[in-house]
Chain A
Amino acid sequence: MVISPTKPTRSQLIEEYTQRLESGQALLQDSPQNLIEVIGVLKSYGIVLDAYSVNLCYIANTQFLKLFPFFKYFNGEINPKKFLRNIWHDRINYEYAEYCMKSMMWHGGGGLDAYLDTPEYRAIAYKVIKAKFKYNPLMLGLHKLFPDFLPELLRQMCYYSGLGQFWRVMSDIFIDLSDRYDRGEIKSIPDVVQHILDGLVKDAARPIIYKVTIRGEEYEIIPQSMGITFLMDTGVPYVEAIFFRGTPFHGTISYNAQAYQIPYDQGAFGYGALYADPLPIGGAGIPPTLLMQDMRHFIPDYLMDIYRHNIRGEGDLRIQICQSFQKSMFCVTTAAVKGLAPHPLDTTDPEQQAANRNYLKGWLTRLFDSQMITVNQN
């Protein structure tokens, strides 16, 4: 009698992935193909993140409280050539970075979000607004009439700065990863995860500070004394907002809130980068994401060769990048999961193991509906 293989159940799969993490493996299967894809795509992602980071910090530092920041994507360098390039859209899509920033701001979480609701922040914001519009009675009058408006704009600037500083670190981690791979130091997916984890741990306590200068005077909007740090106050909320809840991937799936396709609880959202469908649906001409559009310019040759050997060649490059990107994000998620675990995942202490298992079950339950299974099947 032939017994056909049965599809593993949800709990079986969660158990399988738990064991995989406990044994030092990553959420993404270790294979030479996956390694090349992850390294290659993270290299291009690192380059793009660098550009995003520079622009986000530029906007936060120089374009704050400007009602019409027309040239915010120019990084202070305005000339006809750059202007034409901008309107032709032959440039980095900084809009993607802004969408991520807005997503973080919307979903909140972490110390930065908590700080921005405190009276301390409000006091500093009022001070900055008064200084900024000292000679602008119109804006001061507007501020009197709508006292929440300008502080809210400033709150947004804090996220610009926070995300800019977060991506600065991540960009360096990814570029360094690529360099180590080129030197032959990275040989497997667990090596990739360890590299990212080391980078996150190294900068975990790095302070997030936001200072602006108005007429020569410096104002600390996020002062160091508030203790906002890289990992817990920007990194973790970023992962929650962008990886899990909702990423600005255009042209993927549209949901109908009136048909209850969107959960009432934002915490139950599953529209993040780990969940996104790389295949765009419907609308012709819409790229899978602006991010993929940007990354395609910086894909290293060894990865591009693999993409070109696909049946569509470069015709579906953005989808291929998106699929590789999702793989790489499962490595970043693995690093975050390991880094935030209550105890080392290879612990032999039964109590610690039980605590870890409980912790991992929570993550894996959430990840179960993501593309985790799919990326490991392809």
Chain B
Amino acid sequence: MLSALILIPLLGSLVVGLFPDKTGKISRNLAIATSVTALLVNIYLGWQFDPSTSGFQFSEYAPWLEWIGLNYSIGIDGLSLPLVFLNSFLTLIAVIITDKSLARPRFYYSMLLLLSCGAVGAFLARDLLLFFLFYELEIAPLYFLIAIWGGKRRGYAAMKFLLYTAVSGILVLASFLGLVWLTGAESFAYEPLRQHTLSLNAELLLIAPLLVGIFIKIPIFPFHTWLPDAHVEASTPISVLLAGVLLKLGTYALLRFGLGLFLEAWVFLAPWMAILAGISALYGASCAIAQKDMKKVVAYSSIAHMAYILLAVSATTRLSITASVFQMVSHGLISALLFMLVGVVYQKTGSRDVESLRGLLNPERGLPVTGGLMILGVMASSGLPGMVGFISEFLVFRGSFPIFSIPTLLCLVGTGLTAVYFLLVINKVFFGRLTESLAHLPRVKWVEHAPAFVMLFFIIAFGIQPSWVIHLSEAQAVALLTGG
């Protein structure tokens, strides 16, 4: 059953890619059908999932290339289930918000579904090499999605993304190979490798490339420079997926492999990682303040908010680990919402320039609903109570403060700065008098806002009832720390 989550988007991708379709309507409908099916399977699995027990559930195994130690071994646990959900949900959203008139729709939707397949495969993999394959699999479709349907500098952004993530992949692979080589394991299976008895020095040697590779993926300062370019040049649905799901591959790998495989080295390095998280949060926030492009503001905000996850994982407490998973979900929803709304603004006004946009909250001639949703999204990102951002950040800081008080305070300053840079954007773009050049904007249909409303619903629902997500990962957080 679990394989269905990988096979459905994979088959969908193949069918969409091969099915003749001139208008793109069939491809779009097939992509929607595929995404809905995957989401329904996900809901079913979530329903059957037992959150009270740790360890992988619905595990599936098939021997594959045993001579190199690679097997098809997948399973889902409290760490991966919320992210798999997020992936299915955001894939559907991304398909829905895609411009119906875009060029080469068959290839686009095919790549989009392949991207989703790669992400879900990585989240489900119980084999290090299988994880790596899926981790690499999503690079190619994302490269095409940016390089073909991106903005003016899409070639540059796509190439930069490709180079950075390729290096990230090589470093992750080097770490995995080193681990298998040093431990003398016969396969890349995850659980047996967790039981290794390597020395601290050996662990440090192996975790170093892994961490650098993951920091590129998350991304953490100073490995972040590919992300703002990728976001700015990517189309809105791709930005939604990039921020909502693909960055989470990095933080997931951090938890699953960094902490899961190298606990001793992790504890040794944790204070430095916490400091790096604090610096990254402040750096992201400071850069966001200086940006003139709305999308870049959200992109740098992403860097700051992803740093909170690193802080939480570094603290290595039961609460902070749970918080890190919840922060992944929270950031996935909020950043996706913000990118989506920036996309609406760009589509209607033709600009994302904070200096030239003004008065868009005008009730009659502006984009009042988009503006209202944007304000709510900003409130959620700034961590206002009643929304998911507040709970996730509160848990992160509550879980990490007793362990790393100074880095936590740095991140707290970063979260304060979130309100600063987003309010600057809101004030400039949405308040004041609508400029004459913007006085004849087309209306935004309710259908165009529907995905944003759905996301906002979850942002508020998880803000009021966070246990719906948190209880899924609590048991696994304990298991991760106790080696269970």
Asked, given contacts A279-B434, A318-B364, A319-B364, whether A311 binds B359 with beta carbons under 8 Å apart, the answer is no
B442 touches A279 (CB 8 A): no
Q: Are A279 and B439 in contact (CB under 8 A)?
A: yes
A80 within 8 A of B: no
B229 CB → nearest A CB, Å: 34
Tell me if B362 is interfacial: C-beta within 8 Å of chain A.
yes
A296-351, CB < 8 A from B: 310-313, 315-316, 318-319
- Cβ-based interface call for A5 (8 A): no
Closest beta carbon of chain B to A116's beta carbon, Å: 39
Asked if B440 and A311 sit within 8 Å, CB to CB, the answer is yes
* Residue A87 lies at the interface, judged by CB distance under 8 Å to chain B: no
Beta-carbon contacts under 8 Å, A249-285 to B: 253, 277, 279-285
Chain B residues near A315: list those with CB within 8 A.
364, 443
In the bound complex, what is the Cα–Cα distance between A281 and B366 (angstroms)?
10
**A219-261, CB under 8 A of B: which get 1 and which 0?**
0000000000000000000000000000000000100000000
Given contacts A311-B442, A315-B443, contact A280 B431 (CB under 8 A): no
Please tell me if A205 contacts chain B, counting CB pairs below 8 Å. Answer: no
Chain A residue at smallest Cβ distance from B359: A281
Q: Is B310 on the interface with A (CB-CB < 8 A)?
A: no
Report if A288 contacts B (CB, 8 A): yes
Contacts of B368 in A (CB 8 A): 284
The answer to whether B365 and A312 have CB atoms under 8 Å apart is yes
Which residues of chain A are near B439, meaning CB under 8 Å? 279
Residues of B within 8 A of A310 (CB): 440
**Which of A283, A285, A312 has the most B CB atoms < 10 Å from its CB?**
A312
Query: Which B residues lie within 8 Å of A214 (CB)?
Result: none
Q: Is B184 an interface residue (CB 8 A)?
A: no
Interface size class of A (residues with CB under 8 A): 10 to 19
Supposing A311-B440, A311-B441, A311-B442 touch, asked if A282 and B361 sit within 8 A by C-beta, the answer is yes
B interface size (C-beta, 8 A): 18
Residues of B contacting A279 in the complex (Cβ-Cβ under 8 angstroms): 359, 362, 364-365, 433-434, 439
B442 touches A312 (CB 8 A): yes
A32 CB to closest chain B CB, in angstroms? 21
A286 CB within 8 Å of chain B: yes
Is the C-beta of B416 less than 8 angstroms from some C-beta in chain A?
no
Nearest-Cβ distance from residue A361 to partner chain B, whole angstroms: 29
- Which of B359, B361, B364 has a CB less than 8 Å from the CB of A316? B364
Contacting residues, chain A, for B63 (C-beta < 8 A): none
CB contact list, B326-375 vs A, under 8 A: 359, 361-365, 368, 371-372
Chain A interface SS verdict (over half): loop
**How close is A314's CB to chain B, nearest CB, in angstroms?**
10
Report yes or no: A313 in contact with B443, Cβ–Cβ below 8 A. yes
A281 cross-chain contacts in B, Cβ below 8 A: 359, 362, 432-434
Who on chain B is nearest to A317 by CB? B364
B304 to chain A: closest CB distance in Å?
A: 29
The answer to whether A312 and B443 have CB atoms under 8 Å apart is yes
Could you tell me the distance in whole angstroms from the C-beta of A316 to the nearest C-beta in chain B? 4
Set of chain B residues within 8 Å of A253, measured between Cβ atoms: 433
What are the interface flags for A137-177 relative to B under an 8 Å C-beta threshold, 1 for contact and 0 otherwise? 00000000000000000000000000000000000000000
Kindly count the residue-residue contacts between A and B in the assembled complex, taking CB atoms under 8 Å apart: 48
- Residue contact A288 to B361, C-beta cutoff 8 Å: no
Given contacts A279-B434, A312-B442, A315-B443, contact A284 B365 (CB under 8 A): no
* Cβ B442 vs Cβ A286 within 8 A: no
* CB neighbours of A282 from chain B (8 A): 361, 431-432
CA–CA, A159 and B363, complex, Å:
34
Return chain A residues, CB-CB under 8 Å to B441: 311-312
Q: Is the CB of B364 within 8 A of A288?
A: yes
Q: Which residues of B contact A316 (CB under 8 A)?
A: 364-365
Task: For A319, list chain B residues within 8 Å (CB).
Answer: 364-365
CB-CB nearest in chain A for B363: A284
* Separation of A286 and B361 alpha carbons in the complex (Å): 12
**Cβ-defined partner of B433 (8 Å) among A277, A283, A286, A288:** A277
**How distant is B369 from chain A, measured CB to nearest CB, in Å?**
9
**Please, which residue of chain A has its CB at the minimum distance from the CB of B440?**
A311
| Bound CA–CA A319/B368 (angstroms) | 15
Q: A279-B439, A312-B442 are in contact. Are A285 and B433 (CB under 8 A)?
A: no
Known contacts A279-B434, A281-B433; is A286 also within 8 Å of B363 by CB? yes
Specify which chain A residues have a CB less than 8 angstroms from the CB of B434 in the assembled complex.
279, 281
Min C-beta distance of A294 to chain B, whole Å: 16
Question: By CB atoms of chain A within 10 A, which of B364, B431, B432, B441 has the most?
Answer: B364
Which residues of chain A in 114-137 are interfacial with respect to chain B, using CB atoms and an 8 Å cutoff? none
| A96–B372 alpha-carbon span in the complex (Å) | 29
A285 touches B363 (CB 8 A): yes
Residue of A nearest to B361 (CB): A284
Chain A residues with CB under 8 A of B432: 281-282
> In the complex, what distance in Å separates the CA atom of A355 from the CA atom of B70?
101
Task: Report chain A residues within 8 Å CB of B431.
Answer: 282
Which residues in B have their C-beta under 8 angstroms from that of A284? 361, 363, 368, 371-372
Could you give, for residues 60-71 of chain A, a 1 whenever the CB lies within 8 Å of some chain B CB and a 0 otherwise? 000000000000
Q: Most chain-A Cβ atoms within 10 A of its Cβ — which of B363, B434, B440, B443?
A: B363
- Interchain CB contact under 8 A, A280 and B440: no
Complex CA distance for A164 and B372, rounded to whole angstroms: 41
CA distance A253 to B433 in the complex (A): 9
Query: Cβ of A311: which chain B residues have Cβ within 8 Å of it?
Result: 440-443
- Within B244-264, the residues touching A (CB, 8 Å) are none
Q: Shortest distance in angstroms between B52's beta carbon and chain A's nearest beta carbon?
A: 46
Query: A286 — which chain B residues lie within 8 A by C-beta?
Result: 363
Convert B364-406 into 0s and 1s, putting 1 for each residue whose CB lies closer than 8 angstroms to a CB of A.
Answer: 1100100110000000000000000000000000000000000
List of A residues within 8 angstroms of B361 by Cβ? 282, 284
Q: Which of B424-446 contact A (CB under 8 A)?
A: 431-434, 439-443
CA distance A280 to B443 in the complex (A): 17
B371: which A residues are within 8 A, CB to CB? 284
Residues in chain B near residue A277, CB distance under 8 A: 433
CA gap between A279 and B438 in the complex, in Å: 11
When C-beta atoms are compared, the residue in chain A nearest to B372 turns out to be: A284
Question: Is B442 touching A280 in the complex (CB atoms < 8 A)?
Answer: no
**How far apart are the CA atoms of A316 and B366 in the complex, in Å?**
9
Taking the nearest CB of chain A, how far is it from the CB of B363, in angstroms? 5
The CA-CA distance from A284 to B374 in the complex, in Å, is 14
11 additional A-B residue pairs with CB within 8 Å, beyond A279-B362, A281-B362, A316-B365? A280-B364, A281-B434, A284-B368, A311-B440, A312-B364, A312-B440, A313-B443, A315-B364, A316-B364, A319-B364, A319-B365
Task: Supply 10 A–B pairs (Cβ within 8 Å), ascending by A.
Answer: A277-B433, A279-B362, A280-B363, A281-B432, A282-B432, A284-B361, A284-B368, A312-B365, A312-B442, A315-B443
- Sorted from nearest, which 6 A-B pairs have the closest CB atoms? A316-B364, A284-B363, A316-B365, A319-B364, A281-B433, A311-B440
